[in-house]
Amino acid sequence: MSTTEKNELLERVDRALDDVRPHLAVDNGNVEVVDVTEDLTVKVKWLGSCVGCSMSEMTMKAGLEQAIKSRLPQIQKVVAVN
């Protein structure tokens, strides 16, 4: 994937996460897109109260991954790096 393609994909992933961010913000949390790998894995970093939250794994699958894959079906998986 070219640098241009990767940057465009990062932007699109970030915009997809805007659907979830208001729900995270209610609990003083957020999420940051760190990278999209060659095998189309999105790496994110939990921010604020989401760091270490016991619900973060459920939020990852039911919130982040669903929001991203609904707009970008080519994405294979979403993982947290922290």
CATH code at position 71: 3.30.300.130
Mean pLDDT for the chain overall: 94
Q: Return d(Cα 30, Cα 69) in angstroms, integer.
A: 19
Q: What is the mean pLDDT of residues 56-75?
A: 94
Alpha helices (H) in the chain, listed in sequence order = 3-17, 21-26, 56-59, 66-71
Q: How far is CA 35 from the centre of its chain?
A: 9
pTM for the full model?
0.92
> What are the tens digits of pLDDT across the range 8-31?
999 999 999 999 999 999 999 999
The residues facing 43 across adjacent strands are 35, 79
Q: What is the pLDDT of residue 22?
A: 96
**Domain of residue 8, residue span:** 3-80
Tokens of 73: 């079906």
Percent of the chain beyond pLDDT 90? 88
- Which of 28, 51, 41, 44 minimizes the C-alpha distance to 72? 41
Structural domain count, the chain = 1
Does the pLDDT of residue 1 top 90, yes or no? no
